[in-house]
């Protein structure tokens, strides 16, 4: 039964362009859990956009807001939580994510990510003034961190519904 999953919060992690927001939306709908998007929560809590936070206050401030937003989640019922690609960088975020529920890594190859990141304007760490080598380097640094997730789901060449179905059968 597609609709019968354990009563856990599902936390989606993965690189920019992995499809976290899209998959989270469909997963939330099909599993009957409310959707929370951490980037959207940061924007709401700070009252400014992510590019503005990066430009005016720097990445370190953004990372503090990210942890703050994660800590502010005090869910008593299960949700689907979409995170930003850099959430895995701080060890304290892992404690907070694990306290919330199951951490799921949406894995995609660089080819897939690259295709999805073309023309992405609201991502300071993947903007057009960054070289491809910089972004690949960031991905390579983060892969071992993402792999600390409880569950790894491959998404290359797959439909959203197929990925969501796999998640629902494995949690």
Q: 5 vs 88, which CB is nearer to ligand S3P?
A: 88
122 is in an annotated binding site: no
Q: Is 13 helix (H, G, I), strand (E, B) or coil?
A: strand
8 is in an annotated binding site: no
Q: 28 vs 125, which CB is nearer to ligand S3P?
A: 125
Alpha-carbon distance of 54 to 98, in angstroms, equals 27
Q: 24 vs 168, which CB is nearer to ligand S3P?
A: 24
Alpha-carbon distance of 166 to 10, in angstroms, equals 13
Element (H, E) at 160: helix 160-170
CA 35 to chain CA centroid, nearest Å: 12
What residues make contact with ligand S3P under the rule CB under 6 A? Answer: 16, 20, 39, 50, 84-86, 123-125
Please state the closest distance from residue 27 (CB atom) to ligand S3P, in A: 15
- Select from 148, 29, 40, 42 the least CA-distant residue to 97: 148
> Among all residues, whose Cβ is closest to ligand S3P?
84
The annotated binding site for substrate is made up of 39, 63, 85, 142
């Amino acid at each position: 039964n597609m609709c019968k999953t354990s009563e856990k919060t599902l936390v989606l992690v993965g690189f920019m362009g992995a499809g976290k927001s899209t998959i989270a939306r469909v997963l939330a709908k099909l599993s009957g859990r409310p959707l929370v998007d951490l980037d959207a929560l940061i924007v709401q809590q700070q009252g400014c956009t992510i590019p503005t936070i990066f430009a005016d206050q720097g990445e370190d401030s953004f990372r503090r807001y990210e942890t703050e937003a994660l800590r502010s989640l005090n869910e008593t019922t299960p949700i689907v939580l979409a995170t930003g690609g850099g959430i895995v960088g701080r060890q304290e975020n892992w404690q907070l994510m694990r306290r919330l529920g199951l951490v799921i890594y949406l894995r995609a190859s660089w080819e897939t990510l690259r295709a999805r990141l073309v023309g992405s304007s609201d991502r300071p760490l993947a903007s057009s003034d960054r070289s491809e080598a910089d972004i690949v380097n960031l991905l390579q640094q983060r892969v071992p961190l993402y792999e600390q997730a409880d569950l790894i789901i491959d998404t290359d060449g797959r439909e959203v519904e197929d990925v969501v179905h796999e998640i629902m059968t494995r949690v």
